Structure 1
Amino acid sequence: MKKITIAIDGFSSTGKSTLAKQLAKHLEYVYVDTGAMYRAITFFAMQNGYISIDFFDKETLINSLPFIKLHFEYNAALGFAEMYLNDISIENEIRTLEVSSFVSLVAEVSEVRAKLVEQQQEMGKGKGIVMDGRDIGTVVFPDAELKIFMTASPETRAHRRYDELKAKGADVSFEDVFNNVADRDYIDTHRDDSPLRKADDAIEIDNSYLTREEQFNAVLEMVNEVVNS
């Protein structure tokens, strides 16, 4: 059976990673969470004092990029690959609301995007890959055989993110989560370099009222159509 490249783009908290993981596991494809890569660099910037609420030293972060080593390592107990920064697992650390509040600003930096896009394209050379993010179908893999663009109402996405954070024991308010979702939407869609947008040939899925199973089955049908065409 021929292998294809599946590009999944969309707004924050639309379940892109969940869908991508489901597809990769079912198809026995490689899964790459590009959002985790941007979060890792954001975490690095936070750790080193390059970014805070009212400060962002872009130049120092850019100069530090050659010393940032990222890789994914499969964790059999978890059932997915964890993000490693300079050989240290930071999977839990990058999923906080604090990292979420800065990641879109870091992702705006052209030098950061260039570094990560190059790595992502290298990962996908052999096809048989599912990659999710903000610019996969438009920049990273413009020739992907299947492109999905995921969306849902801001309220729905904020509730999902809030529930996820509370389940992990985070002390957050729904208002803060909703504002974070709205802020990220604006930054992601208005940045100069590779803004979030639906590729012309992408299939849009509004999953505000879809279950994970319904969504997975619908996209799996799309995959089978492409593979068998």
Structure 2
Amino acid sequence: MISARGLAMTRGSREVLWNIDLDVHRGEIVTLIGPNGAGKTTLVRLLLGIERPTRGHIEKPASTRIGYVPQRFDVDSTIPMSVASFLALGANVTTDEIKRALEETGAARTLDQQLSKLSGGETQRVLIARALLRRPDLLILDEPASGVDFTGEADLYDMIGRLRDRHNLGVLLVSHDLHVVMAKSDRVICLNGHVCCSGKPEDVSQHASYVRIFGPHAATALGVYRHHHDHQHGLTGETEPLIEPATQTPMPGRGT
């Protein structure tokens, strides 16, 4: 869905990124991990075309459509705006499509709520619903669990996995949290200005560079959430039956 080769970014005299090679394929979840200041968000901005690299190039098919959830999303509490109005902004979508996107992200009951009154978890699910309304082939999510508690984080990543399966999406996640994303990813890229290591989570968790960055106990992060869910948690933490993809109607315009 998108590729980068020899990507580098310099700001002033500081080299933020260098020699970055990256691929994201349809149907896989790729997670970028790394310490603060590793260049994760800068790399995302380059991939999105928000900034231009100093060196290297990015390729993606002309047909690739990207849905993006930013790391920060500040809501002006003085401006009254419902979730429905927010999702309709600048988008040629129907009310039914908005409702369906919210249902897919587990946020259906926020439809008429004020955007500024949502919890952190609700806001993230609404932002992912907004990205879905673009009918993307590739989802890029920069710290999607920001402002979400530990239990909500695991459920959020479960939901992202279901969206990947349902719509055959490519997913690029950015996170500095290990315990959940390592267990939810198909492939992990450990970034610290350059690609320190990459591969399956099982391999990356044993790599010397990964251990050096995150510490000797980081390898145990992989197994924490490797189990099957037969339930999900609601927006306020209550347990609900898991809605299987087959019971939901796909977003219009998506292939399988």
TM bin, normalised by shorter chain, reads 0.3 to 0.5
After TM superposition, the score normalised by the length of structure 1 is 0.33
Choose 1 or 2 for highest CA Rg.
2
| Greater share of strand | 2
| Greater share of helix | 1
After TM superposition, the score normalised by the length of structure 2 is 0.30
